Amino acid sequence: MTSLVLTDSSQLTSDSQHLGIYSSPMTSLVLTDSSQLTSDSQHLDISGVLKDGGSVIPGSLEAFHKLQNSGLPVKLVTNETQETKRSLALSLSSLGYDVNERDILPPCPAVVKLLKEQGLRPHLLVHPNVLGEFQELDQSNPNCVVIGDASDNFTYKNLNTAFKILINMPKPRLFTLGRGRYYREQSGLLVLDVGVFTAALEYAADVKAEVIGKPQPDFFHSAILEMGIKPEEVVMVGDDVVSDIGGAQSCGLKGVLVRTGKFRPSDECHPYVQPDAIVDDLAGAVQLILDTRNNYSFS
């Protein structure tokens, strides 16, 4: 760390973090209030903090292993719906990350569990790579619609089919696997995310989508429950100021924003989400976590 900017006399004391997965070399740290970050585990996002498309963000691999070696529990909390949990674990492992399936919490298994419990038959507007996640469900005569990041399958025909199913239901139900507006693809360009297409179906069918994934509090709570900790003992680190940081803060977690992935400079002045800290990358977030874990105070 080459510089530190404080807006007041904050303390960050933490034994746990939620992290997104994209990163770059850290040059500064911004603390935005006088909160204390005390935590016993970490939740990490995947895209935008650990990796960028199929490439490791410089410094993230070393930072991730440093965090693991500290003994802090880590959970990868992601809205990724173009890959299954298994393929996510394999792709991260191929990049050098020491992770397995139980470390990852994506929305597809969560929505499948909910659909089974409620006896729902989904029409799927999702990426072909994750269709296998839903194979145990009855999909005949659908009584709900599930939308994920379908990428190139977001065609007029496919969206119109989903609309027709919703508009003809007496009580339409629409489940969306996240509310992201955009993300950064491997080319480095920002592209539309599932939230944009969800909004179109909500408007056309006059229905309010039920969110499975970030920023829904139940999604964060399920990760916390798996780890056996309290919300105030966890910090979320991510690149999405609304879904990662705002979502985490809404259910009692602290939020650290990284300047990687989909981050834009305007995120630092967001009208209603104020991160507890802003760092340049995962390396900076991990250093902050470990420093504050050792009762290091910034003043």
- Both 113 and 206 in one domain: the answer is yes
Q: Are residues 115 and 71 in the same domain?
A: no
Tell me which residue range forms the domain holding 162: 108-211
Residue where a domain terminates, one of 211, 231, 260:
211
Residue 252 has a CB neighbour count (10 Å cut-off) of 15
Residues 162 and 130 in one domain: yes
Number of domains in the chain: 2
* Least confident range of 14-23, 38-47, 77-86, 250-259: 14-23
Residue 149 makes CB contacts below 8 A (sequence gap 6+) with 79, 80, 81, 82, 126, 127, 177, 178, 193, 194
Instruction: Assess if residue 26 is contained within a domain.
Output: no
Residue 170 in domain: yes
pLDDT of residue 21: 33
Whether 257 and 238 have beta carbons less than 8 Å apart is answered as: yes
- Does residue 6 fall inside a structural domain? no
Which residue, of 168, 196, 211, is where some domain finishes? 211
pLDDT for residue 232: 86
Q: Among 211, 231, 265, where does a domain finish?
A: 211
Same domain, 193 and 257: no
Asked whether residue 155 falls in the same domain as residue 203, the answer is yes
* Pure H helices in 171-279: 194-205, 217-227, 247-250
What local confidence, expressed as pLDDT, does residue 106 receive? 94
Instruction: Examine residue 102 and state whether it is found in any structural domain, yes or no.
Output: no
Same domain, 113 and 204: yes
Read off the CATH number of the domain in which 180 is found: 3.40.50.1000
Alpha-carbon distance values, 200 to 158, 163, 196 (Å): 13, 9, 7
Q: Hey, what's the torsion of the CAs at 182, 178, 104, 55, to 10 degrees?
A: -10
Question: What is the pLDDT, as a whole number, of residue 239?
Answer: 94
Residue 255, token pair as written in the block: 């939020």
116 and 203 belong to one structural domain: yes
Q: Where do we find the tokens 């799927």?
A: 124
- Round the CA-based radius of gyration of the chain to a whole number and report it: 19
Contact call for residues 49 and 261 (beta carbons, < 8 A): yes
User: Quick one: which H or E segment has residue 46?
Assistant: none
Looking at the domain assignment, is residue 91 inside a domain?
A: no
Question: pLDDT at position 40, please?
Answer: 61
Residues 195 and 254 in one domain: no
pLDDT in tens, 136-170: 999 999 999 999 999 999 999 999 999 999 999 99
- Angle CA 103–185–105, to nearest 5: 15
Lowest mean pLDDT among 29-33, 105-109, 113-117, 145-149: 29-33
H helices of 7-104, in order, are 60-69, 85-94
User: For position 53, what pLDDT does the model report?
Assistant: 81
Q: Determine the 3-state secondary structure of 35 from DSSP.
A: coil
Is 25 part of any domain?
Answer: no
Of the listed ranges 38-47, 101-110, 133-142, 164-173, the least confidently predicted one is 38-47
- pLDDT 10s digits, 47-80: 899 998 888 999 999 999 999 998 888 999 999 9
Residue 219: which pLDDT band, with cuts at 50, 70 and 90?
very high
Spatial CA neighbour of 238 closest among 17, 70, 7: 17
Kindly state whether residue 69 falls inside one of the protein's structural domains: yes
Q: Do residues 286 and 220 share a domain? A: yes
Judge if 226 and 193 occupy the same domain.
no
How many angstroms separate the CA atoms of 186 and 225, rounded?
33
The pLDDT of residue 25 is above 50: no
SS3 (DSSP) at 298:
coil
**Residue at 32 is within a domain:** no
Residues 204 and 125 in one domain: yes
